[in-house]
């Protein structure tokens, strides 16, 4: 009993540490390729050596941290090639999930898509009025929820897990574009609306095409909707 309680407490600590490091990697506080020394991280974020090591292993599985043989951990790189590869994998998963979802979905799923889209639009409107880190996180989570609901009707937990993994790997790039003022929110709103309309019309080809536009945006100009 006590062993289970200790394990549960340790899992909670790791979850809290992972959320903090995930946030700071996403916002660029922990920079791409930065070495992550456990003792230095403990001084900033707390936790034990064991819990911090477990945290870094978790983030390594998510693709945000890289474990190198004999060299410890570092934040994964964030080059343009990295982004292209992440978007390639994300699109492969999300296209498949959306196609399957449109075959297997019901009216309740349509309601969840509409609700997620509504929440996303509200957070984008709030962010345009007052940009701060708290609203940026709310917006990013709304983007994440909208992306996730589009594939959940595929009824494949493993596919959904992969979708979230690649989405999370792309968030550093999206938040960097937000900080630099390089996101076109008018274009994003139009892309989201086109995607939702195609989904509700059960037009698979149009929905997949709209998804591709929304996820990739314009890679060359820096107004990417990632």
Structural domain boundaries of the chain?
Answer: 2-75, 80-216
The 10s digit of each residue's pLDDT in 38-94 is 999 999 999 999 999 999 999 999 899 998 877 789 999 999 999 999 999 999 999
Q: Is the pTM of this model over 0.75?
A: yes
The 10s digit of each residue's pLDDT in 114-134 is 999 999 999 999 999 988 888
Return the CATH fold of 80-216: 1.20.120
Supply the pLDDT for residue 221.
Answer: 46
Architecture category of domain 2-75 in CATH: Orthogonal Bundle (1.10)
Supply the pLDDT for residue 3.
Answer: 55
HSE-up of residue 224 (Cα within 13 Å, Cβ side): 18
């Amino acid at each position: 009993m006590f062993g289970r309680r200790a394990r549960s407490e340790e899992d909670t600590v790791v979850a809290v540490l992972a959320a903090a490091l995930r946030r700071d990697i996403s916002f660029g506080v922990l920079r791409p390729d930065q070495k992550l020394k456990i003792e230095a991280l403990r001084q900033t974020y707390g936790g034990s050596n064991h819990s911090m090591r477990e945290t870094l292993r978790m983030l390594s599985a998510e693709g945000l941290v890289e474990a190198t043989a004999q060299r410890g951990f570092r934040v994964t790189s964030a080059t343009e090639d990295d982004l292209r590869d992440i978007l390639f994998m994300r699109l492969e998963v999300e296209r498949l999930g959306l196609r399957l979802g449109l075959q297997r979905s019901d009216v309740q799923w349509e309601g969840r898509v509409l609700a997620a889209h509504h929440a996303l639009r509200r957070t984008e409107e709030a962010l345009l009025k007052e940009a701060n880190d708290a609203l940026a996180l709310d917006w990013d989570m709304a983007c994440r929820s909208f992306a996730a609901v589009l594939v959940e009707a595929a009824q494949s937990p493993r596919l959904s897990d992969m979708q979230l993994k690649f989405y999370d790997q792309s968030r550093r790039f999206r938040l960097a574009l937000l900080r630099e003022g390089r996101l076109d929110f008018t274009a994003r709103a139009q892309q989201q609306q086109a995607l939702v309309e195609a989904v509700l019309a059960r037009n698979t080809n149009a929905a997949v095409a709209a998804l591709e536009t929304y996820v990739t945006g314009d890679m060359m100009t820096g107004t990417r909707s990632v």
